[in-house]
Structure 1
Amino acid sequence: MVERKHWFSTLLPHAILILGVLIVAFPVYVAFVGSSWDAGTIANGTMPMTPGPYLVENYSRVILSGNATAREPVGPMLFNSFVMAMIIALGKIAISIISAYAVVYFRFPLRKTAFWLIFITLMLPVEVRIYPTYKIVADLGLLDTYGGLAIPLIASATATLLFRQFFMTIPDELVEASKIDGAGPWKFFKDTVLPLSITTVAALFVIQFIYGWNQYLWPLLITTREDMQTIVIGIKKMLVTQDALTEWQLAMATAVLAMLPPVVVVLVMQKLFVRGLVETEK
């Protein structure tokens, strides 16, 4: 017997979902519309809710020439943010997957202690260890470099924990079969563990890429040259104290451009991202 669902039970979840999407998407739409008008229209409070005629002009200006407060164009800032986010994401995944592999499949003294020491570092974010980290980076001559931007942020206890939980779900029969075939630790990792971890790697890549892309405090401290600044710092520099000096159409165009790379990464890796989160929870 097929149970017939009431129309209300189907309509209500969709209505809540649509309402949530509208609440999240409306500010983004307003930013996009504002980026297509001139400064006078926005300052006078007469901006309509439809795109204006200055779309191409505003975006070409911020990408190629910048504005009065953030003199550097947005193009290099986007590149700096992309390089930083990629190094952080790939570095976190590489270190975490090797650490989790060692904790799960190797037997050595104080193995659990090592894992818990890694886990405790969750209580020490960048803001807590900001001074010693900055001192080390400065002493190593890594100020205003991609290494200085990314290397101090690549260690991740969260990613190590997620990989550890996933590795513990891999059947012991696979380990025994690999031993019978004469596979060593590296071959077992390369041929068995790594292919099984692709969805988890994809999920963590999306999360860590967005984490690196949205960094503000560390790039603000570590960069002194304008050509090494990231897009998040560029947006902040456009919002000056004197409201009359803020070119809001360019600031909103920069904000829209800053959202595009993370959105593209999420859309491209959407299926692997969802599968990775579901399999990690199991």
Structure 2
Amino acid sequence: MVENRPFLTFLTHAFLILGFLVVALPVYVAIMASTHDVSTLMSGPVPLLPGSHFIENYSTILTSAAAAHGLPNYSHMALNSLIMALTITAGKIAISILSAFAIVYFRFPFRLLAFWIIFVTLMLPVEVRIMPTYKIVADLGMLNSWAGLTVPLIASATATFLFRQFFMTVPDELLEAARVDGAGPMKFFRDILLPLSRTNIGALCVILFIYGWVQYLWPLLVTTDPGYYTLMMGMKRMVTAQDGVIEWQLVMAGSVLAMLPPILVVIFMQRLFIRGLTETEK
């Protein structure tokens, strides 16, 4: 039985509200700033009430009118980021689930060693191995290409580990029953393991999509062609591209729009996301 302690309940809610305000305040300021004109934003502190330029600012950032302000093509960069995020998400899940399937259900020499080598790569993120990875991509002629943007980021030790842990909880009776019915390894994988992994895949889709969407350092290194610029790169260029006064209202409008896809992914997949992170038995 849970004890009813009003003071602890009040303290818990107070910390939750404080944390929400700390996180939400910059977002609120960005939304309010995106509704004003540049003269208002440059004349003093950022207003905390809505302005009258909401439609004008957002229509400018989404259309070719942004070029008149010295800004890169926002819609094209958003499409590049979407393609990159979806490719990384699909690639990471496909490779990780097949790797975990092989490690758990196949017996081959150095199977556990292969898993631990994969797991140790968690200590070597992209930022640590950035130079050798860039050298390989450059030698393979993958600069300024979709392959160069996505392939080096596809491998995922975290997803492989999560799928492996889940597969180890699947009862052996399912595998035996599949064998009795004459199902081969891939049919067992396709008809039994994939449906059971639906919540895990949903949770990883949310995490990996956001991971791919917010990439900045790697696209900055491997792309010099504006046709491959991603949204995170574009946001930086929106601040430095103009001569003279920075169009902060358009920068803020672009920042607000850049937050929408990850938010929508979390909203529409929150049930699978929560279940995938909390369920331990199927």
Instruction: Indicate the residue corresponding to 1:90 in structure 2.
Output: 90
The corresponding residue for 1:49 is 48
Greater mean alpha carbon deviation, residues 8-17 or residues 42-51? 8-17
Taking the aligned partners of 2:6 and 2:38, their CA distance within structure 1 comes to 48
2:170 is paired with a residue whose SS is coil
Aligned counterpart, 2:161? 161
Q: 2:239 — aligned with what?
A: 239
Which residue of structure 2 lines up, in the alignment, with residue 34 of structure 1?
33
Task: Report if aligned partners of 1:74, 1:231 keep a CA contact under 8 Å in 2.
Answer: yes
Please say if residues 96 and 159 of structure 1, whose CA atoms lie closer than 8 Å, have aligned partners that are also in contact.
yes
1:12-161 correspondence to structure 2 within 5 Å: 12-65=11-64, 66=66, 71-161=71-161
What is the Cα deviation at residue 68 of structure 1? 6.7
Instruction: Give unmatched runs, 5+ long, in structure 2.
Output: none
Determine the C-alpha separation between the residues in 2 that align with 1:280 and 1:138: 43
Contact 2:134 2:222 in 1 (8 A): yes
After superposition, the C-alpha distances for 1:3-59 in whole angstroms (9 at most, x for unaligned) are 883444433322322221111111101001001111111111154211111111111
For the residue of structure 1 that corresponds to 2:138, the secondary structure is: helix
Give the total of aligned pairs.
281
**RMSD over equivalenced CA pairs, Å:** 2.2
User: Secondary structure of the equivalent of 1:143?
Assistant: coil
Measure, in 1, the Cα distance between the counterparts of 2:203 and 2:4.
Answer: 34
The answer on 1:253 being equivalent to 2:253 is yes
Residue type at the aligned position of 2:47: P
Residues 200, 280 of structure 1: 8 Å contact kept = no
| Separation in 1, partners of 2:126, 2:69 | 28
TM-score, structure 1 normalization: 0.92
How far 1:148 moved relative to its partner?
A: 1.6
Deviations 1:56-104 (A, max 9, x none): 1111111113357863221111100000000001100000000000001
What TM-score, normalized by structure 2, do the two folds share? 0.92
More off after superposition, 118-127 vs 67-76: 67-76
Percent of aligned pairs sharing the same letter: 60
Q: Is the 8 A contact 2:72 2:238 kept in 1?
A: no
Is residue 269 of structure 1 aligned with residue 269 of structure 2? Answer: yes
Quick check: 1:78–1:231 contact (8 Å CA) kept in 2? Answer: yes
Instruction: Write the distance in 2 (CA, Å) between the matches of 1:182 and 1:155.
Output: 33
Partners of 2:31 and 2:271 in 1: how far apart? 27
CA gap 1:70/1:164 in 2 versus in 1, 3 angstroms: farther
Paired amino acid for 1:23: V
Which aligned pairs between 1:1-12 and structure 2 lie closer than 5 A?
Answer: 5-12=4-11
Q: Which runs of 5+ in 1 are unaligned?
A: none
Task: Map Cα deviations across residues 181-209 of structure 1 (whole Å, 9 max, x no partner).
Answer: 22111111011111110000011111111
